[in-house]
């Protein structure tokens, strides 16, 4: 869907020193994307959001989603139609809270729900896959003391458990 030189640049952004948010994460989401592509209103927007939603991931920063969205605008602006670019950027920004933004059309809501669910699909994975995910996240946050890490992860997971529904799409 994107030219190979651009794809190579995007893959390189997901550097080798990442634990979970390396290239394996978008690659796994692309497998899920292949299953739902035909049901998407704007598959190119979802595809691009998958590729770039964690392009910038620095565990010590709280603005990774906004910075990834800005990078997506820079890299994709010259090659995507404006409406598709806007959708991809909204999806990337929505990963900050994994919540549905207000004011979306029904079609955009459905694509957004599928994208956000794909990003959280690890929460429905096998115990073995989830343990590998947690180990990868721990590696990314190796600078955080164990007790603080456990408390932070528990808070994040409890936040997901407190939702009325975890997954947003059918």
Q: For residue 166, is it within any domain?
A: no
Q: For residue 168, is it within any domain?
A: no
Mean pLDDT of the region 162-169: 95
Contact between 118 and 33 (Cβ < 8 Å): yes
Q: For residue 167, is it within any domain?
A: no
128-160 per-position pLDDT tens digit: 999 999 999 999 999 999 999 999 999 999 999
Q: Which CATH number characterizes residue 83's domain?
A: 1.10.3210
The tally of domains found in the chain comes to: 1
Q: For residue 49, is it within any domain?
A: yes
Sign of CA dihedral 79, 73, 119, 59: positive
Q: For residue 88, is it within any domain?
A: yes
Residue 19 has pLDDT above 90, yes or no: no
* DSSP 8-state class, residue 23: T
Residue 57 domain boundaries: 4-161
pTM, two decimals, is 0.95
pLDDT at 52: 98
Q: For residue 14, is it within any domain?
A: yes
* 56 to 51, 85, 116, 154, 156: CA distances (angstroms): 11, 18, 17, 24, 20
Q: For residue 169, is it within any domain?
A: no
């Amino acid at each position: 869907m994107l030219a190979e030189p651009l794809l190579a640049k995007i893959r390189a952004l997901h550097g080798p020193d990442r634990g979970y948010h390396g290239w394996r994460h978008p690659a796994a989401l692309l497998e899920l994307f292949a299953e739902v592509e035909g049901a998407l209103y704007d598959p190119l927007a979802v595809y691009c959001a998958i590729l770039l939603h964690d392009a910038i991931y620095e565990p010590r920063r709280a603005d990774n989603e906004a910075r990834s969205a800005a990078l997506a605008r820079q890299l994709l602006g010259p090659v995507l139609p404006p409406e598709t670019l806007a959708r991809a950027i909204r999806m990337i920004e929505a990963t900050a809270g994994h919540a549905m933004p207000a004011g979306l059309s029904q079609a955009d809501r459905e694509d957004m729900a599928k994208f956000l669910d794909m990003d959280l699909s690890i929460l429905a994975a096998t115990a073995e896959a989830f343990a590998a995910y947690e180990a990868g996240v721990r590696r990314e946050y190796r600078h955080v003391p164990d007790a603080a890490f456990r408390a932070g992860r528990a808070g994040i997971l409890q936040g997901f458990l407190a939702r009325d529904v975890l997954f947003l799409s059918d």
